[in-house]
Amino acid sequence: MEKITVSSDPAATEMLAVATAAGIDTVWDRHRMQQPQCGFGSLGLCCRICWKGPCRIDPFGEGPQFGICGADRDTIVARHLARMMAAGAAAHSEHGRHIALAILHLSQGRLADYKIHDEAKLLAVAGRLGIAAEGRAVLDVARDVALKTLEDFQNQDDETPCNWISASLPAKRIDRLRQLGVLPHNIDATVARTMARTHVGCDADYTNVLLGGIRAALADFNGMVLATELSDALFGTPSPVVTTANLGVIKPTAVNVAVNGHNPLLSEVICDVAHEMDAEARAAGAKDGVNVVGICCTGNEVMVRHGIPLATNYLSQEMAILTGALDAMVVDVQCIMPSLARVAACFHTQVVTTMDENKISGATHVSFHEETARETARRIIALAINAFGRRDQARIHVPDVKHTAIVGFSAEAVIGALSKLDAEDPLKPLIDNIVNGNIQGVALLGGCNNTKSTQDESFQVIAKTLAKNNVLLLATGCGAAAFAKHGLMTQEATNLYAGDGLKAVLTAIGRAAGLDGPLPLVLHMGSCVDNSRAVALATALADKLGVDLSDLPVVVSAPEAMSEKAVAIGTWALAAGFPTHLGTVPQAGGSANVVKLVTEDAKGLFGGYFLVEPDPEVAAGKLVAAIKEKRAGLGL
């Protein structure tokens, strides 16, 4: 029987063998049990929107060609995609709303456990939003920033776009999106309108449905950028820090607490309280005290801000529990596997849910509220210390796999590094090197993990190929974690894989910044919500050059796209004007018209388009070609 490689991560592969020996099913076992997956669903041709169905369209034209209500394949596929975009927008914007409300409550004196860590970022944000700041108290400015942000969930004027999208994209792009009628005015209303128009008996024009979905995707961008910028003000803007990644960061001699999910409001406090409770952990027998590690995007948040080591990304989150040395996994929202509680039941690990709207059967729920953040964090770490005493030492198996990772490249940090070469005009060195060809273009690699791909492999293949072709690499989310886990966020990786031009530029910047060598091959910009950082950098370049985003040699790649959030992110990247690669074939192949609209026609409308290619080597070649096309358009 042919051995199938499910992950390129040796630590995950090692732990999978442990799970098999113990008879514990993992995400890859459940994927295998689902085969063969429904062909109708894979093509997007199964409609469950009303209870007359489910209705299925025959992809070969021999059976039913319409649903019971009369919807055709184009309408059905478009509705599914638009609903995914709306769900993605809801997820990211709810995260952002939570941060905005926390800042509002802080400004009102209601939160004792938080403070504004980056006052300069807050003032910069206020300036972008048109809020006067000079001579005013910081918390008064914070209140006005929060209220201005919350307008993006409340504005009822269709003609006035959301504040944050207006403040975050070049004027040329805003004008183009306005002409196409896809600028969101209100995140909540846009999500609701998308759901309403895709209800049975409503919008049945596939182009109109998809334009509505694109509006929802742009609401997702709006929610992401406000979440990132306000988180920076509240918790600090990331700057380069050296840390480690992969399962080897779990210490058998410590109380290990993993933070998992996407919202940093609790994990930030846990990191602080862990230090305070170190002595209690040592008294319980943990000679290395409390060891906080990250998983998924909550892990990325604390990694880029504080250097907290990252254990793993989405697909192998169960593997952390299988080490037998994880005492608590603390989860908040998004991309958290419900299976965690079942796996943890085989060990001593406490799985702790914290958000009242996100519970898991079998987990311990500790309700989190910002007003009592430190108290909640202490209670959770106490649970972990207590669990430490119940460990079965004979079942501890921590892979000896971890890599150094240099992370924390916010847009401000990137521009700060460039300023070491030209303090008066920091963008000039980057532009000059794009013009002279040392840097051919820029690629943002993000997105999820997916069991349809060998975990992390496509990320590595695409990154190495692009780097060889002198493409500057940025990464977020589970993609960034893939690079960190495999040692591609190091100076050594730059020397090994970067083309001569890219290597020269990264080396010049690194040395000017005081490093004894180049910047890392891949620049970690943060969690998946922090894709907005890459857009901020692209916007600065576009404004400097007086061009639109679609004119820049910038591409996006999601080699293992999986979630509704990824659908929304990819779609707003398209709408922003970027060629956007998807390594997972979308559930849309049943409609040739929808496929043509997003892969071909979108190019004329937005300048961006979807490039679907599961083979990473072929995909990398297509991304290089897209960059060359953009360069040619600029006369380079």
Tokens of 195: 């759901």
End-to-end CA distance of the chain: 51
Confidence of residue 447 (pLDDT cuts 50, 70, 90): confident
> Is the predicted pLDDT of residue 146 greater than 70, yes or no?
yes
The phi, psi pair for 33, rounded to 5°, reads -70, -20
Q: Do domains 73-235 and 247-395 have the same CATH topology?
A: no
CB of 496 closer than 8 Å to CB of 446? no
d(CA 127, CA 168): 12
CB of 128 closer than 8 Å to CB of 163? no
Q: Which amino acid is at 510?
A: G
pLDDT single digits (tens) 604-614? 999 999 999 99
Q: Which fold has domain 73-235?
A: Substrate Binding Domain Of Dnak; Chain:A; Domain 2 (1.20.1270)
Tokens of 57: 């369209």
- Measured in whole angstroms, the distance separating CA 100 from the mean position of its chain's CA atoms is 19
Q: Model's pTM, two decimal places?
A: 0.96
d(CA 476, CA 494): 18
Q: In the CATH scheme, what architecture does the domain 406-633 have?
A: 3-Layer(aba) Sandwich (3.40)
What is the helix (H) or strand (E) element at residue 312, kind and residue range? Answer: strand 310-312
Domain segments of the chain as ranges: 34-65, 73-235, 247-395, 406-633
Q: Which fold has domain 247-395?
A: Rossmann fold (3.40.50)
Confidence of residue 3 (pLDDT cuts 50, 70, 90): low
Q: What DSSP line would sit under 212-252, residue for residue?
A: HHHHHHHHHHHHHHHHHHHHHHHH-----EEEEESGGGS-T
Confidence of residue 4 (pLDDT cuts 50, 70, 90): low
Q: Is 474 helix (H, G, I), strand (E, B) or coil?
A: strand
Q: How many helices (H) and strands (E) does the chain have?
A: 27, 16
pLDDT single digits (tens) 303-332? 999 999 999 999 999 999 999 999 999 999
The phi, psi pair for 72, rounded to 5°, reads -95, 180
pLDDT single digits (tens) 60-72? 999 999 999 999 9
- Class of residue 288 by CB neighbours under 10 A (exposed 0-12, middle 13-18, buried 19+): middle
Tokens of 598: 């997003």
d(CA 372, CA 357): 18
What is the helix (H) or strand (E) element at residue 445, kind and residue range? Answer: strand 441-445
d(CA 334, CA 126): 29
Confidence of residue 5 (pLDDT cuts 50, 70, 90): confident
